[in-house]
Structure 1
Amino acid sequence: MEDLNYHVIYEYEFHRGTSAAETARSINDVYGCDVVKENTMRFWFQRFRSGHFDLQNKPRGRPEIKVDNEKLKAIVEADPSQTTSEVAASCGVSDKTVLIHLKQITKILREKNRRAVTLRPRLMAAGNQNIG
């Protein structure tokens, strides 16, 4: 069953005056153990008490970071002596994001001087090898 369907049940039970704990037990009895946790019910009931009856889940998690891998590749190939910090600053992202995207475009960083280098096909086939 989709989350929205459960949320309708939550709201229904809230309006009936059922407690969060009792609602969680009832739902788990009908739909299976641990379909909903009591803490989740408390969260939803608190939302309803605050007057928020929007049943859609709020977006959460990390925002999607968009780095154009082709642009990143061009930046690195234009000046391979740049550090990850310099590349990150020119792209407007964090060093970690640059590292993730460099790995995606088969680039790695030498640990000694943290400069970008291209992986050789032989090393790519062997997996993650320490180059340094």
Structure 2
Amino acid sequence: MDKKLLRPILLYEYKNGLKAAETARSINEAFGPETVKERTVRWWFKKFKNGCENLEDVDRTGRPTEFNNNMLIQILDSEPGITSNDLAERLKVTRVTVKQYLRKIGRLNEVETAEKVKKVPDIKNKMKSKRTLQMEILNTKELVLP
């Protein structure tokens, strides 16, 4: 049940003098189990008792979400191998936030796979650079014959 439909019922039951437990039981019998928890009814009854009968959601403080899913999807489509760190930097959010939204849109696995691929060392290049370094060392050392 939508909470905006539930709140007037709670106010009505409060005004009729019902207890929170009775109200929760009555609503759950009428609309189905787990429609409302007794704790929620108690919270609203306390609010009504303190004189607040406003049934609307109150604006809360805190940082508003400014994340753009469309931008995330657009970047993923244009750069398939991008990592979560790169996405976080580009979207100016944390890596955790990026991963949360990737999970929501069902594309977390594709980014994690790209990150694993980037971690695999390129053996040929490492061996080549090691050989080059060894050759440079040999070329710079003076050969001393006994």
TM-score when scaled to structure 1? 0.55
Distance, in Å, in 2 between the alignment partners of 1:50 and 1:37 is: 20
The 1:84–1:35 alpha-carbon spacing in structure 2 relative to 1, beyond 3 Å, is closer
More helix by share: 2
Is the Cα–Cα contact under 8 Å of residues 11 and 48 in structure 1 kept in the other structure?
yes
Give identity over the alignment, percent. Answer: 30
Establish whether residue 28 from structure 1 lines up as the match of residue 28 from structure 2. Answer: yes
- The answer for unaligned runs of 5 or more in structure 1 is 116-132
Match of 1:65 in 2: 67
Establish whether residue 111 from structure 1 lines up as the match of residue 116 from structure 2. Answer: yes
More strand by share: 1
- SS of structure 1 residue aligned to 2:14: helix
- Superposed CA offset, 1:12-48 (max 9, x none): 1212222111222233344444432211211211222
Task: State which structure, 1 or 2, has the greater radius of gyration over its C-alpha atoms.
Answer: 2
Distance, in Å, in 1 between the alignment partners of 2:3 and 2:83 is: 45
The 1:72–1:26 alpha-carbon spacing in structure 2 relative to 1, beyond 3 Å, is closer
Distance, in Å, in 2 between the alignment partners of 1:54 and 1:40 is: 15
Distance, in Å, in 2 between the alignment partners of 1:3 and 1:87 is: 36
Report the number of matched residues. Answer: 109
Measure how far apart 1:59 and its partner are.
Answer: 8.3
Distance, in Å, in 2 between the alignment partners of 1:87 and 1:34 is: 40
The alignment yields a C-alpha RMSD, in angstroms, of: 3.8
The 1:110–1:26 alpha-carbon spacing in structure 2 relative to 1, beyond 3 Å, is closer
Match of 1:85 in 2: 85
